[in-house]
Amino acid sequence: MSSQDIPEESPSSEQDHAHGAVAVKEPFADPGLPAHRPRVQDIDERAARRSERTVALLFTVSMLSTVAFIASYVVFPVDKIVYIWPFGHVSALNFALGTTLGLALFCIGAGAVHWARTLMSDEERVDERHPIEAPPEVRAKVMADFAAGAEESGFGRRKLIRNTLFGALAMVPLSGVMLLRDLGPLPEDKLRHTLWAKGKQLINMNTNEPLRPEDVSVGSLTFAMPEGLSEHDHSFQTEIAKAALMIVRIQPEDIKDRRELEWSHEGIVAFSKICTHVGCPISLYEQQTHHVLCPCHQSTFDLSDGARVIFGPAGHALPQLRIGVNDEGFLEALGDFDEPVGPSFWERG
């Protein structure tokens, strides 16, 4: 091969190869940004006003939806079921909450998007890349751009949009506050009271008949519930969990606790059937020792000594119900339990 067949390289090519770079010619020229086309709202103030009212309407609907969300908690009961096409049978409360909260959030988003697309400046600008550390002149330019953007958005000038936006954003968090209700209903003082009250007859849970003193024999164990409570009631399980009663008859001379004797009738004593450990029903009675045993964790109570705990993890004695006899000869309560029934109830509140 002759020297004429070897292509000569220019000095610049030699320099590029030395640095490992290859010169590539751009196949297309940079077209740049397209020419800015003004929108209707940019040239027609009436159109801008219409867009402003539309955005304000969306924010107002969001506020009304938030109010409706809160009202739904009051209007719709938790167990109300309604038929809504095409969803079928749904919870009225859940449907109302989902619809109103979804509408509130959607209207804020739709209003913000409509505001940006129709009223804020849509002119595209190009900034050259710069170091991460901005020099003072760049920071000044950013603040100037921010001020210009705020001016172009009309945030200060269009007070209707600004005020309704503030209203919508301020009210949406109220929905989250209302959701705290789903942590559970407030117990108030419901755990401190049962259906037992003065004059309530003791009803045998096996026969559903009122109890007479002669129906309770020495050494027997009888379970009772308050007069007026039925197994068919919607709230039966809730109420019987607090009002369940066990009745035993002990010879008066065998009762060691003075108050227990005063609250009894001819040796018939009535104690809560609910264990003070974790709320299990007590049903095992030993007539020779007058002890009752909880089958769950073996807490043992002495019914001849104020139902105090003599063994097991229970922390409190069983609450006693004061009883007597009415004019018809039936056993009746003379009030409610003197303390909350069931588990330790946060050390009795």
- Burial group, residue 136, by CB count within 10 angstroms (0-12, 13-18, 19+): exposed
> Where is average pLDDT lowest: 23-32, 171-180, 296-305, 334-343?
23-32
Q: What is the pLDDT of residues 277-287, one digit of tens each?
A: 999 999 899 98
189, pLDDT greater than 90: no
Q: What is the pLDDT of residues 203-217, one digit of tens each?
A: 999 999 999 999 999
Q: What is the pLDDT of residues 224-262, one digit of tens each?
A: 999 999 888 888 998 999 999 999 999 999 999 999 999
More confident residue, 294 or 6: 294
> Where is average pLDDT lowest: 97-106, 190-199, 246-255, 318-327?
190-199
Q: What is the pLDDT of residues 43-101, one digit of tens each?
A: 999 999 999 999 999 999 999 999 999 999 889 998 899 999 988 999 999 999 999 99
Residue keyed to tokens 């002890």 = 291
Tell me the average pLDDT across 177-190.
73
Question: pTM for the whole thing?
Answer: 0.51
Cα–Cα nearest to 153, from 48, 53, 63, 36:
48
179, pLDDT greater than 80: no
> Where is average pLDDT lowest: 218-222, 267-271, 272-276?
218-222
Percent of the chain, pLDDT > 90? Answer: 58
pLDDT at residue number 157: 80
Residues forming a β-bridge with 323: 333
Band of residue 349 on the pLDDT scale cut at 50, 70, 90: low
pLDDT at residue number 337: 92
108-114: which pairs have CB atoms within 8 A and are 24 or more residues apart? Answer: 108/58, 108/59, 108/62, 108/168, 108/169, 108/172, 110/58, 111/55, 111/56, 111/58, 111/59, 111/62, 111/165, 111/168, 112/165, 114/51, 114/54, 114/55, 114/58
